[in-house]
Structure 1
Amino acid sequence: MAALSCGALLLGLALAAPAALAASDEQQNAAPSGGGGGAAANPGTSAGKSVNRTDLTTCMPGQVWDPKKHKCLQRHSGVLPDSDLTGYANALLKADRFEEAIDVLDLLDNPNTPRALNYRGYATRKLGRTDEGIGYYLRSVALDPAYPQVREYLGEAYVIEGKYDLAKDQLATIEKICGKDCEFYGELEKALKDASAL
């Protein structure tokens, strides 16, 4: 009888193991069908916690989110189209994963788009390399002078450097592009006020 109970227990464990492994893989590769940003649930550091399925940044370092397959893939050149990689880099930026965002941007076939340069500028600025970030922002502005987000970030970089007149110039340009009600105007205006420059 004991041998039968032991055999039944082993059979039960053998049948349960693949299901447990599949659930573990599903949690590690989970992410939403769209959207993204906000605080990240990092399965690498949150043992025992469930993965936030509404956050693109649930992919582990070294992976990227595939919005078509709805799973994380190993990061390598050509893994996804530039638009998907740029979107994932933005999600990483929103989760303060700046080095990883740069790594993803390094995979782009065309890294010289206004959006990619803006995100690279933001990541490098947030890593304390403000002058380098400004260089990327200026390249983005040269490609698309009417891109208000890069104007906000460039202005914020100028605030960091104490170049308030240059930051105010960016604020005025944002106002012309999208008005004072534009979120980018509000963010740069706040940065200037916080620095007592307005």
Structure 2
Amino acid sequence: MLNLTIRLVALGGFLVALVAAPAVTPVWAAGGGPGGEDPFSKPSGNSAAPPPSPSYPKRSSTKPPQKAKKPDNQSSIGDPAFAAGYRAAYETIYDRNDYADAIVQLRALGHDDYPNVANLIGYSYRKLGDYKLSQVWYERALKADPNHVLTWQYYGLWQLEQGNREQAMYHLSRIAAICGTGCDEYKSLAAALDKPTGAVLVY
């Protein structure tokens, strides 16, 4: 009888623990789920931050690269229409080098305060030679997300093109703090800093 009571108590404790245990759901890293790369990163986790925006897909080595898996420094959005418009603008920039049209496309998205959108607008203005407007947009991207690593990289290149090597070094240190010295953004800006002052940067 005592053995039966002990068994019933043990079984009851097991059932209570089983019912009280939380459900376990697989969670995928920002780089994506099984079988592929997710073109969007997860949000930065700052509840006061503006709505998130997509990250950049991989591109050829002649342009500043982006790793697929990032720390929590990029934002994401689930709106398919926004994602399609963003990708179209991205291709306008990197496939056709039509920076003026890309600015129109990016502004038409209606999400100027998303860090990736603001960063690409800044990049486009920089490529058009309008450094003042480019700076405004880079600052806007960093205001939206102070850990937006691509903006630190692109803005660092902007600093180099303006002859501000010390500022570019500061941007490099910010990138290192966000994603380390092994990430593509760090390597790209470090390589640009290794070039002699006045060298033409192809970014």
Same fold (TM over 0.5): yes
Kindly report which structure 2 residues correspond to 1:121-136, keeping only aligned pairs within 5 A, or say none.
Answer: 121-136=122-137
Deviation of 1:36 after TM superposition, in Å, equals: 7.9
- The answer to whether the Cα contact below 8 Å between 2:163 and 2:197 also exists between their aligned partners in 1 is no
- The answer to whether the Cα contact below 8 Å between 1:36 and 1:91 also exists between their aligned partners in 2 is no
Q: Secondary structure at the match of 1:106?
A: helix
- The answer to whether the Cα contact below 8 Å between 2:149 and 2:175 also exists between their aligned partners in 1 is yes
Query: Which structure features the higher share of strand residues?
Result: 1
Q: Secondary structure at the match of 2:129?
A: coil
Tell me the matched-pair count: 123
Question: 1:93, 1:37 → 2: CA distance?
Answer: 12
- Partner residue of 1:82? 82
Q: Secondary structure at the match of 2:141?
A: helix
Give the fraction of aligned pairs with identical amino acids, expressed as a percent.
25
- The answer to whether the Cα contact below 8 Å between 1:159 and 1:192 also exists between their aligned partners in 2 is yes
Question: 1:36, 1:91 → 2: CA distance?
Answer: 12
Runs of 4 or more above 6 Å deviation = none
- Partner residue of 1:142? 143
| 1:75-121, Cα deviation, whole Å (9 max, x unpaired) | xxxxx722221222112211212112112112112222101000000
- Partner residue of 1:189? 190
How high is the TM-score relative to the length of structure 1? 0.57
Amino acid at match of 1:82: F
Kindly report which structure 2 residues correspond to 1:1-198, keeping only aligned pairs within 5 A, or say none.
Answer: 81-95=81-95, 96-196=97-197
Q: Secondary structure at the match of 1:180?
A: coil
Q: How much is the aligned-residue C-alpha RMSD, in angstroms? A: 2.1
Query: 1:107 and 1:36, CA in 2 relative to 1: closer, same or farther beyond 3 A?
Result: farther
Larger displacement relative to structure 2 (94-103 or 173-182): 94-103
Question: 1:115, 1:186 → 2: CA distance?
Answer: 20
Question: 2:196, 2:135 → 1: CA distance?
Answer: 19
Query: Which structure features the higher share of helix residues?
Result: 1
Query: 1:125 and 1:98, CA in 2 relative to 1: closer, same or farther beyond 3 A?
Result: same
Structure showing greater relative contact order (alpha-carbon pairs closer than 8 Å, 6 or more residues apart) = 2
Deviation of 1:196 after TM superposition, in Å, equals: 4.3
Query: 1:108 and 1:157, CA in 2 relative to 1: closer, same or farther beyond 3 A?
Result: same
Query: What runs of 5+ residues in structure 2 fail to find an aligned partner?
Result: 1-38, 40-56, 61-79, 199-203
Q: Secondary structure at the match of 2:108?
A: coil
Amino acid at match of 2:85: L
How high is the TM-score relative to the length of structure 2? 0.56
Amino acid at match of 1:164: R
- Partner residue of 2:74? none
